[in-house]
Structure 1
Amino acid sequence: MMLIEETAVPLAALPLAEFKAHLRLGTGFADDDIQDPVLESFLRAAMAAIEARTGKVLIEREFSWVLNAWRDSEGQALPVAPVIAIVSLNLRNRADEVDLVTPDHYRLERDAHRPILRPGGTMLPPIAPGGTAEIVFRAGYGVAWGDLPADLAQAVLLLAAHYYEYRHETGLAGGCMSFGVSSLIERYRTVRLLGGGGA
């Protein structure tokens, strides 16, 4: 299985002004924007870390997910949430021939933690031996920073500030995340049972 981010978070959606205020950086100077590229990189890194920990997509963008077999032909759980829409479903056989599956053969079952691709009938279209299915979908809380839940938005700012303050530290433990950030994102983390069965 392979998840590919097809579109990136646009710069306009990043909360640079809020982040500067959070860091209490000075304003009104001619070179106010000199640190913007650095601040942008810390915001993107913080968002990526929180998305990885929670399995939630913060700012809306498009993804493609390629898999070799359905875990359950009655419904395939999608790898991230919240999913807004299924854009397309393609089946590719061993000879690299592509079959576009029409939307009447599947539907999206929305869920805050575990959205599922459901069949239009009783079973999802079969994937040929040696073939793949490619699901293209849009996921995220919204297109703007203000669309995020307040606790997730605050967690991003806290983690980005942590990265900024300790940008010269090389001795921090791998996966270091402060208690404040961890507590803010805890309710968004997906609990996987039985080795992630069905996920």
Structure 2
Amino acid sequence: MILIEVSQVDADLLPITPLKQHLHLGSGFAEDSAQDSILEGYLRAALSAIEGRTGQVIYQRQLRWIVNGWSRPEGQPFPVAPVVSFDGLTLIDAAGAETEEPQENYDLQLDPFEPRLRAVSGALPKLPAGGRAEVLITAGAATNWGTVPPDLAQAVLLMAAHYYEYRHDVALGKGCTPFGVTALLERYRPIRIGLGGGA
């Protein structure tokens, strides 16, 4: 299973000013924006890390989900939540030939933790031998920083600040996560169960 970002989060949506305030960076100087591109990079890394740990897509955007086999043909759980819309299903055979499935034949079963893709009738289509399915979805909880769930927003700022403050420290352990971030994400842990998309 592979999940690919079709549309990236727009830079204007990233909380650069809140991160500066969190870091107590100076303001009122001509070079106020000098570090914006650096902070943007840490925010994108923090978003990616938080989404990867929780399965929760923070900013609403389109994603392409590549599946080599259904784990539950009667109703395949999506690997992320919340899923806002199911936007298309394409079957691709071993030679690369594509068959676009009629979108009206499939239905999105909404669920805050385990949304599913279902066929309107019967089971999901059989995948071509040696091929795959590509499912296009729109997922995400927020359309701007003000609508990001508070616990996830705080986790993003803490994680980005951690990356910024320890940017020169090569001794940090792999996958090091501040305790505060771990605590904030605890309630999202169950979403990691049954993410499907068998190999």
State the TM-score, normalized to the length of structure 1: 0.93
1:169 corresponds in structure 2 to 169
**Shift of the alpha carbon at 1:44?**
1.0
**Shift of the alpha carbon at 1:96?**
2.8
Code of the aligned partner of 1:72: R
SS at match of 1:190: helix
1:76 corresponds in structure 2 to 76
Code of the aligned partner of 1:123: A
Q: Does 1:66 pair with 2:81?
A: no
**Shift of the alpha carbon at 1:140?**
0.7
| Paired residues for 1:146-165 under 5 Å | 146-165=146-165
SS at match of 1:129: coil
Worse overlay, 140-149 or 184-193: 184-193
SS at match of 2:129: coil
| Separation of aligned partners in 2, 1:169 and 1:16 | 22
State the TM-score, normalized to the length of structure 2: 0.93
Q: Any stretches of 5+ residues in structure 2 without a counterpart?
A: none
The one-character-per-residue Cα deviations of 1:33-63 (angstroms, maximum 9, x if unpaired) are 0011111111111111111111111111111
Identity over aligned pairs, percent: 48
| Separation of aligned partners in 2, 1:143 and 1:96 | 35
2:185 corresponds in structure 1 to 185
How many positions carry a matched residue from both structures? 197
When the two chains are superposed, the root-mean-square deviation of aligned CA atoms in Å is 1.6
SS at match of 2:190: coil
Runs (4+) off by over 4 Å: 196-199
| Separation of aligned partners in 2, 1:191 and 1:94 | 32
Code of the aligned partner of 1:174: K
**Shift of the alpha carbon at 1:191?**
5.3
The one-character-per-residue Cα deviations of 1:59-87 (angstroms, maximum 9, x if unpaired) are 11111111222112101111111111111
| Separation of aligned partners in 1, 2:2 and 2:196 | 16
2:135 corresponds in structure 1 to 135
Do the aligned partners of 1:105 and 1:125 also contact (CA within 8 Å) in 2? Answer: no
Do the aligned partners of 1:55 and 1:190 also contact (CA within 8 Å) in 2? Answer: no
Q: Does 1:2 pair with 2:2?
A: yes
| Separation of aligned partners in 1, 2:36 and 2:196 | 42
| Separation of aligned partners in 1, 2:52 and 2:70 | 23
Do the aligned partners of 1:105 and 1:124 also contact (CA within 8 Å) in 2? Answer: no
| Separation of aligned partners in 1, 2:174 and 2:132 | 35
Do the aligned partners of 2:82 and 2:141 also contact (CA within 8 Å) in 1? Answer: yes
2:43 corresponds in structure 1 to 43
